[in-house]
């Protein structure tokens, strides 16, 4: 018997410009691919929404930002696997940042809507210290 791939229907989309996602984008893997970072806005929370974002190319200026439409509702943790291993904790944040000049191709986050608790749950990993941060700039 050969290899079985359960996720053959995973939809992948390359992003090179700012975007506002909607419910039809759920389940997609977004490859972040631009020389300058952009902002991606998540849709309003709704049951079952989930998205993955992966750095596909190095970017020299401006962060890639994944932000909540509602704000103050991104919670979770991201493994920072740099020289000093750490955890980036997101607690009632507005956005997750892939940091310009600290990113590594393959750094990623996944966000899952937990509508019952009015939050986005984030997990992920970055290869260099400071490659991903969680902030509440407002």
Q: What is the mean pLDDT of the chain?
A: 93
Residue 97: inside a domain: yes
Residue 91 CB contacts under 8 Å (≥ 6 apart), including other chains: 75, 134
CATH number of the domain within which 121 lies: 2.60.120
pLDDT at 97: 98
pLDDT band at 4 (very low <50, low <70, confident <90, very high): very low
Residue 83: inside a domain: yes
The residue-averaged pLDDT of 51-78 equals 96
pLDDT at 7: 54
- Segments forming the whole domain that contains residue 45: 12-135
CA distances from 125 to 24, 43, 69, 131 (A): 25, 23, 23, 9
Residue 4: inside a domain: no
Residue 90: inside a domain: yes
pTM of the model: 0.92
Give one DSSP letter per residue of 38-55, joined into a string: -EEEPPPP-TT-EEEEEE
Residue 57: inside a domain: yes
Domains identified in the chain, total number: 1
């Amino acid at each position: 018997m050969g290899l079985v791939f359960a996720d053959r229907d995973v939809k992948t989309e390359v992003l090179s410009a700012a975007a506002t996602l909607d419910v039809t984008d759920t389940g997609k893997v977004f490859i972040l691919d631009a020389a300058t970072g952009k902002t991606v806005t998540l849709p309003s929370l709704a049951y079952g929404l989930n998205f993955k974002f992966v750095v596909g190319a190095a970017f020299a200026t401006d962060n890639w930002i994944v932000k909540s439409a509602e704000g103050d509702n991104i919670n979770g943790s991201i493994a920072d696997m740099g020289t000093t291993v750490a955890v980036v904790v997101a607690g009632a944040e507005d956005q997750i940042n892939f940091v310009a000049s600290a990113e590594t191709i393959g750094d990623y986050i996944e966000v899952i809507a937990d509508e019952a608790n009015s939050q986005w749950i984030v997990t992920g990993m970055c290869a260099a210290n400071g490659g991903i941060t969680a902030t509440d700039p407002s």
